[in-house]
């Protein structure tokens, strides 16, 4: 697998566009399109929230009822969640209007919305936006970047990633874009992700790969109980790489899986690092857990602790908060044998040895925690399983941003 | 039941003291004592955290192995958690030293510690503190208040409550004190509570009452997964009211239960209102839930959402965040029939009707949310069960306090 520049237009036959329709923000792109020149099999994962936005329901239906789609239309500013039957029909109008502009059926168009919830979509200026998207779409890297920019809400940077892998001599490309301010508040910072690939792969195989990859990546920056009403990951495969079909349990599958995982993981980490108000990327590695599930539960518990997040912000090696978060995770372990290390470009330091302070240097700990990328390693010494979670610190700006999110 | 002034010394035969030993803070009380002039049956509830502080283990053992105790000694500044075997023996030394100063057995002394975790207790100046406590203890209201002040950490006010009830013609008093900065970060803001009563009541009956009351009160400002390493509720009953024993499923039991619940609930609400950096008390009432468990899960999910808390801080009627938090709680319901109202001294306003915006006045909503005590009522329309949770807003000061908790 080889990492390359680019996003949703990196794979063959994919076009994209991002335009300023003027839905909510001034002078800011707010509508995006991803289009495949031929039918693409589509797989996806969606929010587990009982409250599902209209576009989520639409995509779940499309993926259930048909093998392929041609396009994904996205908007920022309005989430079309908690909008009742009216929101459902607005969403269908969104798919239909985009389909008309592209001269394809509405059932070939997936939809995604992000922004304020409880508000209905606006026919104007969105009607104008669909036409603009159809006119502007291109298969250049620039077009992919414009699309990635158009789906930003509180994001401070656009998020793209791409990789190429070799499937039995054929070059297969995977590229994607996402938005979302990471696990710092996944309960509202809708996470949207569109990944495209030119791989030849059956829908069922693609769905399995996507589900497994999402559990290892996006779900590790977002705890299930915190999924938003709109969270969506869509993967389109348009078969243009002409590779022999990717089949489960083969070397080719692993090659494709790794490329897909690279794209998803790097998008996930970019989201975590871009958490609202965040100044630091925090990575929590749990090793020596009894099971993968335990490892994930433990890592998520630490990464979502407000106290750990504020301590990281304050560069305070308050390891008791990490041990405490492990303790209330629900996983069973022996607190008296746990080791905790912290790592950054400044070095590695053991804070906790067998559940107690190692007598480390506070000064060196403070230096490590002052870096912008920090890893905490928790060795449970219970087994062989491990998991990694990503998050960020909790800062004044988080409160500021969310204290007046709508203004 | 009648509400009265006072705390742990309100009931007959209970003495208290609070002194400055100089454990960690300067010019600040940091050791407290609650003493009964005769043996008191003791019940309690403790943290569910896998990581349990030494005093928690000690109290669990005492309550399991003996019917009565005579005293509770508490300290602030050092939590004696994550301190290994050394911490266990330090805790035993704490009980023994307090026992010596009171001339009672160490197994008659419960212990409680709160503060920084990972740090060992300090023989000096604590040895001096035990003697001071024994010398200063009194059965006056003032003594109870001194004890309540001595267990404060990041608390901004001391917390006491008391009530009197009538058990078949005999006056029975229940009084208590607590510390803890509420659910804003229960994972470290250790919650300590000592309640005393002169009721005649068997240990098993008292334990049942305490467990049920805690589920309705303290556990509704603190989610289980967020319990600290030290959370402790101790209730001592010294039988001095000379009432006929309180038996289960009797009018007398209900009378006693209500007094105990009043004391626990008012202490719980004081903790929520005193959340670190908090400017507002938020109460979430879930009604029409399918089961009490559902109602509690739903109420807790809303009260613990960072986004709800920041919106309340910003006086922003961002009801979508409330509906979203209900949605990811894990409880099953129909989002399209939920109603949400907000209430304060300024009035009551319906924000959400059948899962959609009611078209309310943002101006009036803002006025309600600007008040210091706000109630959100969520009607699930699924059944008859209800529950109430208490919390507070998330502010800049929360980040400030926790960004450098240890300095």
ipTM: 0.76
Q: Does A322 touch chain B (CB under 8 A)?
A: no
Please pick, among A114, A153, A173, A190, the residue that the annotation labels catalytic: A190
Q: Where in chain A is the domain with CATH 3.60.70.12?
A: 2-271
Please report which residue ranges of A184-250 form alpha helices under DSSP H.
Answer: 203-216
Instruction: Write the pLDDT tens digit of every residue in B267-281.
Output: 999 988 887 778 899
Which one-letter DSSP state was computed for residue B225? Answer: G
Q: How far apart are CA B272 and CA B300, in angstroms?
A: 13
Q: Where in chain B is the domain with CATH 3.10.20.340?
A: 281-403
Q: Does B397 touch chain A (CB under 8 A)?
A: no
Instruction: Write the pLDDT tens digit of every residue in B286-304.
Output: 999 999 999 999 999 998 8
Q: Does B403 touch chain A (CB under 8 A)?
A: yes
Bridge partners for A374 per DSSP: A282
Instruction: Write the pLDDT tens digit of every residue in A283-299.
Output: 999 999 999 999 999 99
pLDDT score for B89: 98
pLDDT score for A277: 78
Residue B257 has pLDDT above 70, yes or no: yes
Instruction: Write the pLDDT tens digit of every residue in B156-175.
Output: 899 999 999 999 999 999 99
Residue appearing with tokens 């955290």: B49
CA distance B231 to chain A (A): 12
- Mean pLDDT computed over B316-344: 92
Of residues A301, A336, A337, the one with CA closest to residue A321: A301
Q: How far apart are CA B201 and CA B187, in angstroms?
A: 33
Q: At a CB cut-off of 8 Å and minimum separation 6, what does A89 contact?
A: none
Residue B249: CB atoms within 10 Å = 7
Residue appearing with tokens 């078969």: A239
pLDDT score for A236: 98
* CB spacing of B84 vs A357 below 8 angstroms: no
pLDDT score for B315: 87
Give the residue with greater pLDDT, A339 vs B227: A339
Residue A4: CB atoms within 10 Å = 13
pLDDT score for B227: 67
Q: How far apart are CA A85 and CA B407, in angstroms?
A: 54
Q: How far apart are CA B26 and CA A358, in angstroms?
A: 27
Q: Does A118 touch chain B (CB under 8 A)?
A: yes
- For CA atoms A318, B394, B272, B388, the dihedral sign is negative
- Over pLDDT 70: what percentage of chain B? 94
A190: annotated active-site residue: yes
- Over pLDDT 90: what percentage of chain B? 76
pLDDT score for B304: 84
Residue B364 has pLDDT above 90, yes or no: yes
Instruction: Write the pLDDT tens digit of every residue in B105-156.
Output: 999 999 999 988 888 999 999 999 999 999 999 999 999 999 999 999 878 8
Residue B352 has pLDDT above 80, yes or no: yes
User: Which of chain B's residues have a Cβ under 8 Å away from the Cβ of A405?
Assistant: 307, 310-311, 314, 316, 318
For residue B181, name the pLDDT band (cuts at 50, 70, 90): low
* CB spacing of A48 vs B329 below 8 angstroms: no
Q: At a CB cut-off of 8 Å and minimum separation 6, what does B391 contact?
A: B182, B183, B184, B221, B272, B275, B281, B282, B284, B303, B304, B309
CA distance B241 to chain A (A): 40
Instruction: Write the pLDDT tens digit of every residue in B379-407.
Output: 999 999 999 999 888 777 767 766 654 43
Which of B56, B80, B82, B86 is best to mutate for the A interface (most A CBs within 10 A)? B82
Second CATH level (architecture) for the domain A2-271: 4-Layer Sandwich (3.60)
Instruction: Write the pLDDT tens digit of every residue in A122-144.
Output: 999 999 999 999 999 999 999 99
- Mean pLDDT computed over B36-49: 95
Instruction: Write the pLDDT tens digit of every residue in A355-369.
Output: 999 999 999 999 999
pLDDT score for B186: 43
Write phi, then psi, for B164 (nearest 5 degrees).
-120, 140
pLDDT score for A406: 45
Which one-letter DSSP state was computed for residue A121? Answer: -
CATH of domain A281-403: 3.10.20.340
Q: Where do the DSSP E strands lie in B103-203?
A: 109-116, 159-167, 170-179, 192-197
Size of interface A-B (CB pairs under 8 A): 199
Task: Kindly give the parts of chain A with pLDDT less than 50.
Answer: 183-188, 223-225, 405-407
């Amino acid at each position: 697998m080889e990492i390359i520049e680019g996003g949703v237009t990196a794979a063959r036959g994919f076009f994209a566009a991002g335009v300023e329709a003027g839905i909510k923000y001034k002078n800011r792109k707010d509508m995006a399109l991803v289009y495949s020149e031929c039918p693409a099999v589509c797989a996806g994962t969606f929010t587990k929230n009982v409250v599902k936005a209209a576009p989520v329901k639409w995509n779940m239906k499309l993926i259930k009822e048909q093998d392929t789609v041609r396009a994904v239309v996205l908007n920022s500013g309005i989430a079309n969640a908690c909008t009742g039957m009216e929101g459902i029909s607005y969403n269908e109008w969104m798919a239909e209007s985009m389909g008309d502009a592209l001269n394809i059926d509405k059932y070939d168009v997936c939809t995604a919305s992000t922004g304020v919830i409880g508000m209905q979509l606006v026919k104007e200026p969105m009607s104008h936006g669909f036409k603009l998207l159809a006119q502007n779409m291109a298969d250049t890297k620039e077009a992919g970047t414009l699309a990635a920019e158009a789906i930003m809400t509180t994001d401070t940077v656009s998020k793209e990633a791409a990789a190429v892998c070799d499937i039995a001599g054929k070059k297969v490309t995977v590229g994607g874009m996402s938005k979302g301010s990471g696990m710092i508040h996944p309960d509202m910072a809708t996470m949207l992700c569109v990944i495209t690939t030119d791989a030849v792969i059956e829908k069922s195989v693609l769905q399995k790969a996507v589900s497994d990859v999402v559990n290892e990546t996006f779900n590790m920056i977002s705890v299930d109980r915190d999924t938003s009403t709109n969270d969506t990951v869509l993967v389109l495969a348009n078969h243009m790489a002409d590779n022999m079909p990717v089949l489960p349990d083969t070397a080719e599958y692993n090659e494709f899986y790794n490329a897909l995982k690279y794209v998803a993981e790097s998008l996930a980490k970019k989201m975590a690092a871009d958490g609202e108000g965040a100044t630091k990327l925090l990575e929590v590695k749990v090793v020596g857990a009894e099971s993968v599930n335990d490892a994930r539960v433990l890592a998520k518990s630490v990464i979502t602790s407000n106290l750990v997040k504020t301590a990281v912000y304050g560069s305070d090696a308050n390891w008791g908060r990490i041990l405490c978060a492990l303790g209330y995770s629900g996983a069973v372990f022996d607190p008296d044998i746990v080791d905790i290390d912290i790592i950054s470009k400044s070095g590695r330091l053991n804070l906790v040895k067998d559940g107690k302070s190692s007598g480390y240097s506070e000064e060196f700990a403070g230096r490590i925690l002052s870096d912008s990328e920090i890893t905490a390693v928790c060795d449970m010494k219970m087994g062989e399983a491990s998991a990694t979670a990503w998050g960020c610190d909790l800062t004044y700006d988080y409160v500021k941003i969310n204290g007046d999110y709508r203004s």
